[in-house]
Every structure is written in C-alpha cells, then in structure tokens.
Amino acid sequence: MQYLSLENVSRSYGDKVLFKNVNLSISKGDKIALVAKNGSGKTTLLKVIGGEEGSDGENAKIIISKEIKTAILKQDPTFDPNATVLETIFDSDNEAIMAVRDYEKALNAHDDALLQKCVTRLEDLKAWDLEAKIHEILHKLLLSDMEQKTGQMSGGQKKRLALAKILIEEPDFLILDEPTNHLDMEMIEWLENFLQQPNLTLFMVTHDRYFLERVCNEIIELENGNVYIYRGNYSQYLEKREARLQNDAVNLEKTKKLFSKELEWMRRQPQARSTKAKSRIDDFYEIKEKAQVRLGNDEMKINIQASRLGSKILEAHQIVKKFGDKKILDGFTYKFKRGERIGIVGQNGTGKSTFLKILTQEIKPDGGKIVVGDTIVFGYYTQDGLVLNEDKMVIDVIRDIAEYIPLDKGQKISAESMLRGFCFRDRNKGCMYHS
C-alpha cells in the first residue's frame, strides 16, 4: 500500500533551487531517511509534504493516503503555553486516549465512583494496553510532571513532549524532523527499538548516523537540487554514494572535454541557418550547464589559529553543586590535560549543562574551586545557542567579532568566507545571511 507519492515537486527561493522535480513514493513498512547538507532544503521538503508550504509549478502532485493516520514531528513544536503536559498529551479525538485521560483525572481526584466508571470504559474499549504504553512513553522521555505548563518548558522538553504525543496517537505513517535532538543516549536507544516495529512507516530527517544505521532501510540524499535514492542502511548508502560520485567524476570529465570541443566550434561563429546547426547550438548550452556542475563531495576544512596553551589547563578541586535536594556534583576532582578529548554522558536532567557552566565559571559551585590556566580561552557552544537581534544580519553578527579570522600559518579568512563554509549564502545568490 502506497502511503505517500510525490511527483514533480520543486521549491526555490529567489535563484536558489532547493529541489527540482522530486519524484518518490513511500509504501507501508518503509523506513526512509532524508539526508543532505545543512541549508539544502530537508526541512522545507518536509514542510511541503505537510502542506505548510506549497510546491512550485502547476504539475506538482503530493498525495498522502486518506486511509491512514499521519503524524508530523516538527523541529520546533509549539503548544498552548497555558496548557499542562497532561492536557497536551491527551488533547485528542481518539476515544481510547480520551478514556485513559479521564481515568488519569479520576485517579488524581481520588473519586472512587468516577474511577469505577472509567475502569469499565477502559475495559470496554480494551484500552489497558494503551494506558500502559502511554506511561512507558512518558517515563522513557522523562515527562513526569503532568501539571507543568508547556510555557514553562525548555525547548528540549517541548520536543520530547511533541514526540511523546505523536507516538501515543499510534499513527500509521510518521514524518519526523530530527527526532533524536534533545534525547539522551538511553532515550535514543529506546526510540530506535520503538521505531523498528514492522507496522510503522517512517520518513525522517536526522544527522544521527547510528540511528540511520539501525532504523532505516532506505536513504534519500538531496544534493544540488536533485534526489538520489539508495536502498539499504547507512553503511550501504556510503558505499553506493562513493560509487556514484566516482561515476559522476568520470562523466563530468568526459562532459568537460566535449564542452571544450564544442566551445571551439561555437567560437568560429557558426551560422545557424540549418536545422542541424541550430540543434548543435542548443546542445552546446546543455553541455555547458552540465560541464559547470560542481560535485558535492567537498569537505569544509578551517584550521583556526589557536592561542598558545600553557602547562595548566583546567583543574577542578572537590566541586560540590546541588539544587534543593538534588545533588549534581559531590566532591568532583579532575585535572584536565593538554590534548584530551572528553565526553560527558548522562540522562537528561542529571546536570550535564550545569557541569559545563561550572567548568567555564558561568555559575559558581556550592563548594570546592575551579582553577583555570592563565592562557586558557573557552570556546563554549551552548545548548541554547546565541541570543540575537532578529533584525541583524548573520554577517554583521560575525563582523562584530572580527572582519577577518586568523588561521594557521599566518593566513586569514574573511567573515563572508567563514559563513560560506557553514552553508550560508549571499542574499543575492539565493540564500540569505539574515537570522
């Protein structure tokens, strides 16, 4: 059974073509990932599929089966800020979910008469399995405070709430935009197992290569406005992609040689009086376009100049930190050494971000001390990103720091070149520098 069909779907912003004449279909049981460089149009394609944005052109067709239930997880979900987690989770027209909602309310109200009615209703609907499933999902995604207002939740909590709500609805077809963002390792492993159910059909965007490896059976790559389809998991995708790139490189070299030959002919100013000459001129411009294509296998390499590093890096001595009765650190001691690469793992809410803020001296510990080397400068990429003036262009944000960024070996790179390396493009060339 076909769940989704796209025909001749295109989307452009100005001169920037995100994708052109995309044709693909998704059938029951498919678990498909969409991969591409940032800024290539992955989220836009999901928005077009979900009806938030239209497709360019009159011939485009987007068909989602009306016989199935479809759910879409957005990157930045929004909720009524005055609604509680409980109200948001159970805001549904599904009778079984409403029955579980009423049962939870009766439990909290300690109303025995109402509770008995709710139990009977759950038994009639055979919804006890759903009640257990709802509790499992909420527990795994650390959504325990059912009375918390969504307006008081962090971005990560809202994303987990949106994911929980979608999974509870038990859709046939899931469209997910970065589902593993804001999930810790245990949550990701649980979600992997959950999504591997054979009755679930997926179309998702993710940068998590291990998630791709374990969950997906097909990968679609969006590159230079074109779509390439690869059957298999992530490892098989890498092998097939490399073979395609090698083949493209060979074909491009042949096209360039043909272009050089035809260019010589064009420079002799052929008189396009005959049908054959006119056809050859038309072919020339097609060859020229193909010969000027850039293969998308470039890697960004920016060797930023580092400051001189002294012998003392960072030392933590008997660090203690707690919030109320919750203990984050209890006598933590460690001396960081030059060249170390250290990862911090832990469940959401255990204090990883707090730990980093203590190390970078953004917040003070309740006990112990942090000693920072004299030459140390922290580069701290936070979970929340930057707080920016929305009217300010991205290029100006970088220029406020530096017009030129020093590189290794005395070289330097301009702010514009730095942004291009991170997939930002000039407004006049199709993609804007603005935030």
Is the pTM higher than 0.85? Answer: no
Q: What pLDDT does 420 receive?
A: 77
In a domain, 155, yes or no: no
pLDDT average, residue stretch 356-378: 90
How confident is the model over 128-169, as pLDDT tens digits? 999 899 999 999 999 988 889 999 888 888 999 999 999 999
**Per-residue pLDDT reduced to its tens digit, 382-424:** 776 677 777 888 888 888 888 888 877 778 888 888 887 776 7
Q: Which structural domain, as residue segments, surrounds residue 338?
A: 314-372
**Per-residue confidence at 177, pLDDT binned at 50, 70, 90?**
very high
pLDDT per position as a tens digit, 262-295: 787 777 765 655 667 778 777 887 888 777 766 6
Residues 320 and 363 in one domain: yes
What integer is the mean pLDDT of 211-229? 90
Longest dimension (CA), the chain: 95
Residue 153 lies in a domain: no
Do residue 398 and residue 367 come from a single domain? no
Identify the pLDDT of residue 434.
42
Torsion of CA 160, 46, 435, 297, to 10 degrees: 110
Question: How does residue 346 score in pLDDT terms, banded at 50, 70 and 90?
Answer: confident
- For the CA atoms of 216, 217, 223, 226, the dihedral, rounded to the nearest 10 degrees, stands at -140
> Which residue has 């649980």 as its token pair?
190
The answer to whether residue 63 is domain-embedded is no
> CA 146 → CA 85, 97, 163, 381, distances in Å?
5, 15, 15, 31
Count of structural domains within the chain: 3
CA angle 333, 339, 341 (to 5 degrees): 65
Domain finish residue from 258, 291, 324: 291
Both 363 and 406 in one domain: the answer is no
Look at residue 169 and tell me if it is in a domain.
Answer: no
Domain annotation covers residue 25: no
272 domain-assigned:
yes
Position 37 in a domain = no
Hey, is 263 helix, strand or coil?
Answer: helix
- For 89, phi and psi rounded to 5 degrees? -60, -40
Taking the C-alpha atoms of residue 183 and residue 156, their distance in angstroms, rounded to an integer, is: 8
Of the candidates 35, 28, 25, the one whose C-alpha atom is nearest the C-alpha of residue 62 is 25
Q: What does the alpha-carbon distance between residue 161 and residue 158 come to, in Å, rounded to a whole number? A: 5
Write down which residue in 257, 291, 325 finishes a domain: 291
Is there a contact between 260 and 253 (Cβ–Cβ < 8 Å)?
no
In a domain, 379, yes or no: no
